Amino acid sequence: MLSQKAKYALKALFVLGEHQGKDPVMIADIAEKANVPRKFLEQILLEMKRRGIVHSVRGKFGGYALGRKPDDIAFAEVIRVIDGPLALSPCASRTAFRKCDDCDDETVCAIRTVLLSVRDATAEILEQHTLAHALADRKSAKRRKRAD
């Protein structure tokens, strides 16, 4: 399940993506526009900064901006940075494999086989869906809403 923290991270990226090419966005403005608690947002942005997803600018007109183009920021990366591996169980993780404590042999485990399939399908979708896609979807939804 997607954590609230990951949802907040994605919401913050939407705000930054909508301001791309403009001045950096102050953290208070990101928090307000994304409806995210500021203190929590500070931690989230620092984690994403360490991975180059966002960068910060110091000074009077400082703030945060995207660290890469929206096409280069996949949902999977953001979720991994914030929540960790995509797999539902450590034995199905490609990046943080760990044998389950109650498992005799993971190579023949029927549960792991299914969870590997779920992990692969989830990763494929999340790797292909980028911030650029989400921004385009939001823009279309806003246009449809105004037309109604």
Q: Is 65 helix (H, G, I), strand (E, B) or coil?
A: strand
Per-residue pLDDT, 33: 95
pLDDT at 51: 96
| Inter-residue contact 88 to 118 (CB < 8 Å) | yes
Ranges of residues in the chain whose predicted pLDDT is under 70: none
Residues 6 or more apart whose CB falls under 8 angstroms from that of 5 comprise: 40, 44, 82, 83
Please tell me the CATH code under which domain 1-73 is placed: 1.10.10.10
pLDDT score for 1: 78
pLDDT of residue 99: 80
Q: What is the DSSP letter of 23?
A: S
Phi, psi of 101 (to 5 degrees): -60, -35
